[in-house]
């Protein structure tokens, strides 16, 4: 019995947010695409909401809207942000009105965005295979991907959108350069006493930042927390019973939105930073967490992955129009070169922020608080930073802006 052969121009390994975005953008541009995805694990629910959420900047939201893949009714608009240091008064505020924009971005449960991306990609003609990759051969004319079922996929290009433990990256023997932050990220859904009004909060402690992110629905009284804490503290927090954890969280957040009414189930994950030594090889490319992993303190991870996907789709659609081989290094190098500055700036900036807010020298907490206050009052500088954070000053293809 002969093996089943699937052919496509591009095959994507991984159908999460990054892979789903690439599938939509390629299918929208007329490129034949097939997604190979292992069975998706069930989401970890907390108060009935996915513990995994993404904070997407305005530029990325607008791009997804233009692609017809943004489930607006399931997203909470972020209309303002408040950031402060420890016990210090003051801090920094950012408001969408300062950018003459309706919002700085949005928060959405990952399960809703993944479902919307798949539905849109399939409506545009993309195909999905629930299977696991087992072997890869990259030849002069095509790449062949053998799957666990015995089937084979042949394409001009294979893209790894399969996360930090990327199977494709290992198959390509690409080094993964990075380090652990020795922190754990604790996530949960919380119910607030008062509406969050679309405000995202972040409080910095020497042991790591604590963010409270607005969620859609239920009269704006649900929010997601991401508490990045040093390993010892994270372990203690996860060992606490529900009442003790709720009290610790309430003390750390303070009287935001009238305080906490209820705290849902917790999940935790290790925090690290890393970057692949190579993002492209002949007939192969890495995007999203398969190519780079960042600290969640600024919520940039999903944004960087989506921008990878949009840039790669742009280069591939241009190459197809010119009759170029989509897996050729000269095509893939253009994608790599477009993404270097954005990724490099994010990695360096987040590492600098992490190190600065982790310092425990005498007086440094007051210095950090003063810095946030000064930054808040330097309006032209703050607005420039806000434009970058909102994704309005980054390289997104014009067609998807």
Averaged pLDDT for residues 4-27: 97
Q: Are strands 143-147 and 222-230 parallel, antiparallel or unpaired?
A: unpaired
5-177+272-400: CATH, from 3.50.50.60, 3.40.1280.10, 3.40.50.300, 3.40.50.10440: 3.50.50.60
pLDDT of residue 105: 95
Over residues 96-105, the pLDDT tens digits come to 888 888 999 9
Q: For the chain, which residues make up each domain, given as ranges?
A: 5-177+272-400
pLDDT of residue 401: 46
Average pLDDT, the chain: 89
* Strand locations in 14-85 (E): 33-37, 45-46, 49-50, 53-57, 75-78, 80-85
Give me the torsion for CA of 297, 272, 289, 222, rounded to 10°: -40
Cα separation of 289 and 304, whole Å? 9
Cα separation of 93 and 99, whole Å? 13
pLDDT: is 154 or 393 the higher one?
154
CA-nearest of 67, 64, 143, 68 to 332 is: 143
Confidence band of 286 (pLDDT split at 50, 70, 90): very high
Q: At what angle do helices 364-377 and 379-389 cross, to 10 degrees?
A: 90
Q: Is the pLDDT of residue 1 over 50?
A: no
Cα separation of 394 and 396, whole Å? 6
33-37 β-sheet, strand order? 127-130, 33-37, 10-13, 157-160, 284-286, 280-281
Cα separation of 37 and 40, whole Å? 8
Quickly tell me which residue has 């009290």 as its tokens.
Answer: 247
HEC letters along 198-243: CEEEEEEECCEEEEEEECCCHHHCEEEEEEEEEHHHHHHHHHCCHH
The proportion of the chain whose per-residue pLDDT surpasses 70, expressed as a percent, equals 86
By mean pLDDT, which of 81-95, 183-197, 261-275 is the weakest? 81-95
CA-nearest of 71, 60, 83 to 108 is: 71
Helix (H, G, I), strand (E, B) or coil at 82: strand
Over residues 143-182, the pLDDT tens digits come to 999 999 999 999 999 999 999 999 999 999 999 998 888 8
pLDDT: is 231 or 287 the higher one?
287
Q: Is the pLDDT of residue 40 over 80?
A: no
Confidence band of 85 (pLDDT split at 50, 70, 90): confident
pLDDT of residue 351: 66
Q: Is the pLDDT of residue 42 over 90?
A: no
| Non-local CB neighbours of 183 within 8 Å, separated by 6+ positions | 207, 208, 228, 229, 230, 231, 234, 270, 271
Q: Is the pLDDT of residue 127 over 80?
A: yes
Averaged pLDDT for residues 18-24: 98
pLDDT of residue 206: 81
Q: For the residues of 143-184, what is the DSSP string, one character each?
A: EEEEETTS-EEEESEEEE-S-TT-HHHHHTT--EEEEEEEEE
Helix (H, G, I), strand (E, B) or coil at 279: coil
Query: What residues form DSSP beta bridges with 94?
Result: 81
Over residues 337-386, the pLDDT tens digits come to 999 998 888 877 766 665 555 656 555 666 666 666 665 555 676 667 66
């Amino acid at each position: 019995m002969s093996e089943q052969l699937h052919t496509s121009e591009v095959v994507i390994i991984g159908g999460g947010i990054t892979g789903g975005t690439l599938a939509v953008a390629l299918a929208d541009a007329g490129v034949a695409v097939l997604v190979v995805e292992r069975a998706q694990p069930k989401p970890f629910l907390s108060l009935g909401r996915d513990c995994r959420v993404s904070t997407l900047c305005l530029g990325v939201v607008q791009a997804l809207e233009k692609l017809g893949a943004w489930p607006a009714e399931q997203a909470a608009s972020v209309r303002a942000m408040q950031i402060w240091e420890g016990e210090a008064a003051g801090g920094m505020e950012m408001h969408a009105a300062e950018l003459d924009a309706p919002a700085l971005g949005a928060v959405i449960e990952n399960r809703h965005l993944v479902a919307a991306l798949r539905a849109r990609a399939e409506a545009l003609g993309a195909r999905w295979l629930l299977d696991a990759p087992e072997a890869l051969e990259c030849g002069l004319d095509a790449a062949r991907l053998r799957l666990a079922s015995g089937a084979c996929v042949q394409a001009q290009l294979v893209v790894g959108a399969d996360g930090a433990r990327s199977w494709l990256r290992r198959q390509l023997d690409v080094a993964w350069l990075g380090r652990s932050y020795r922190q754990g990220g604790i996530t949960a859904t919380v119910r607030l006493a008062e509406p969050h009004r679309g405000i995202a909060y972040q409080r910095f402690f020497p042991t790591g930042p604590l963010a409270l992110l607005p969620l859609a629905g239920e009269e704006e009284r649900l929010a997601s927390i991401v508490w990045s804490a040093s390993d010892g503290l994270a372990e203690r927090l996860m060992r606490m019973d529900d009442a003790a954890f709720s009290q610790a969280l309430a003390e750390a957040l303070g009287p935001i939105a009238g305080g906490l009414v209820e705290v849902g189930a917790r999940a935790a994950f290790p925090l690290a930073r890393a970057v692949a030594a190579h993002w492209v090889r002949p007939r192969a490319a890495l995007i999203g967490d398969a190519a780079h992993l960042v600290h969640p303190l600024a919520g940039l991870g999903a944004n960087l992955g989506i921008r990878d996907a949009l840039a790669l789709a742009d280069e591939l659609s241009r190459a197809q129009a010119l009759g170029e081989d989509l897996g050729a290094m000269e095509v893939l190098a253009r994608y790599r070169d477009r993404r270097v500055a954005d990724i490099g700036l994010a990695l360096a900036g987040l590492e600098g922020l992490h190190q600065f807010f982790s310092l425990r020298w005498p007086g440094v907490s007051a210095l950090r608080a003063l810095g946030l206050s000064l930054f808040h009052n330097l309006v032209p500088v703050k607005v420039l930073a806000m434009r970058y954070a909102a994704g309005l000053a980054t390289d997104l293809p014009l067609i998807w802006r």
